[in-house]
């Protein structure tokens, strides 16, 4: 009889082989430790003798938002900000074409995507993090609004996350990347997680892949960078480091050493339903967290998409399991089916 680790290896390998992916890394954790971690395929089809592994580093895209949310919740714990006062209190120049919007827009609206801001994806831009504020000053006034803040209309917007990170910078007088490092990455010992592509390139970096006209996978010899949107999706990481973040969520804000990084009530706030939406096949959105209903479970986590990278981190607080899936080829459906299939096998063991 196969062990649960062997069963997970078998089902994930089958999905990998059926979906033409260059490289994929998957990890499963419980509240205490990694139960399974493995790589499938290669980090680069141009180096097929070097396999992808659990140490492979990927651009994790919007999974970054949960780190951003943790930073903002930390500031709220320290009473340095209030989620429910106008953002304009922290960013005084904030204004929109409709003068009624800025006075009612709060950080809670930004972190739950209920501010009415439109979608944004500008993967290429400046490499200097100082570009965050001027980029927002240039763009925000002319943005079209599809709803007013507080109308509880869910509209996924990277503009909102970028603006929230600027508020954090204004309050602290420090770059957002420093805040994330000091308050999240270092306390969780996520030592191979970085916003800096130059640093990530010194690790076993999993390169992006696409299909050519004949359907063959090839390396994309370019990785997008825009330092003005780090908080929305700029981190690089691997499944071991992300398993530490999953355990942080599963253990209500404690790190592996039992130290409180974020208070349980703050984690509960991040997990609370703030906006109803079926955009992610689930209940909706919390504060920088996707809330998904799967079978009789309510999962918490986030997906990421930085084409062609496709990624996900989902936790089941009820069973205490977390599943991380990172791919260097755009197979968006597997961001759901891998954790679902793995959870099915794990839950069958305890039923």
Q: What is the DSSP string of 209-228?
A: EEE-TTS-EEE-------GG
Separation between Cα atoms, residue 117 and residue 134, nearest integer Å: 18
**Mean pLDDT score across all residues of the chain:** 96
Q: Read off the pLDDT of residues 240-299 as tens digits, 9 standing for 90 and up.
A: 999 999 999 999 999 999 999 999 999 999 999 999 887 666 679 999 999 999 988 999
Write the CA distances from 327 to 230, 304, 330, integer angstroms: 20, 10, 7
pLDDT, residue 210, reads 97
Q: What is the pLDDT of residue 350?
A: 63
SS3 at position 50: coil
Q: Please tell me the predicted confidence (pLDDT) of residue 73.
A: 98
pLDDT reported for residue 161 = 98
Give the chain's residues under pLDDT 50: none
> Which residues touch 285 (CB under 8 Å, ≥6 apart)?
112, 113, 154, 273, 274, 275, 277, 291
Q: At what angle do helices 64-77 and 158-172 cross, to 10 degrees?
A: 40
**Domains along the chain with CATH numbers:** 4-63+179-350 (3.40.710.10), 68-174 (no CATH)
209-211 and 58-59 strand pairing: unpaired
Name the residue among 246, 229, 266 with its Cα closest to residue 315.
246
> How far is CA 73 from its chain centroid?
16
pLDDT at 351: 53
Q: How far apart are CA 47 and CA 41, in angstroms?
A: 11
State the pLDDT at residue 3: 87
The whole-number pLDDT of residue 280 equals 63
């Amino acid at each position: 009889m196969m062990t649960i680790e062997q069963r997970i290896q078998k089902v994930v390998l089958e999905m990998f082989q059926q979906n033409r992916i260059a490289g994929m890394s998957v990890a499963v954790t419980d509240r205490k430790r990694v139960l399974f971690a493995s790589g499938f395929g290669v980090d680069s089809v141009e180096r097929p003798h070097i396999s992808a592994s659990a140490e492979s580093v990927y651009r994790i895209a919007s999974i970054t938002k949960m780190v951003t949310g943790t930073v903002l919740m930390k500031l709220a714990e320290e009473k340095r900000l209030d989620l429910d006062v106008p953002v304009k209190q922290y960013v005084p120049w904030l204004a929109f074409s409709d003068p009624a919007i800025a006075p009612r827009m709060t950080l809670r609206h930004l972190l739950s995507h209920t501010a009415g801001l439109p979608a944004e994806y500008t993967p290429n831009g400046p490499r200097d993090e100082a570009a965050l504020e001027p980029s927002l000053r240039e763009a925000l006034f002319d943005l079209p609004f599809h709803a007013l803040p507080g109308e509880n209309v869910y509209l996924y917007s990277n503009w909102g996350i970028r603006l929230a990170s600027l508020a954090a910078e204004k309050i602290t007088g420090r770059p957002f990347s420093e805040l994330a490092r000091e308050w999240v990455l270092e306390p969780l010992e996520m030592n191979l997680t970085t916003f800096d592509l130059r640093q990530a390139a010194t690790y076993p970096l999993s390169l992006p892949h696409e299909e050519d006209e004949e359907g063959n996978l090839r390396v994309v010899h370019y990785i997008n960078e825009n330092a003005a949107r780090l908080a929305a999706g700029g981190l690089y990481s691997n499944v071991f480091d992300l398993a530490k973040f999953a355990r942080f969520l599963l253990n209500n804000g404690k790190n592996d050493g039992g130290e409180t990084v974020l208070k349980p009530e703050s984690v509960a706030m991040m997990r609370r339903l703030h906006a109803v939406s079926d955009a992610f096949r689930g209940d909706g959105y919390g504060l920088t967290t996707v809330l998904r209903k799967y079978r009789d479970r309510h999962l918490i986590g986030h997906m990421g998409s930085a084409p062609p990278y496709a990624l996900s981190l989902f936790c089941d607080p009820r069973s205490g399991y977390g599943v991380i899936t990172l791919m260097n080829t755009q197979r968006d459906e597997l961001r759901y089916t891998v954790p679902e299939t793995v959870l099915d096998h794990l839950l069958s063991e305890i039923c």
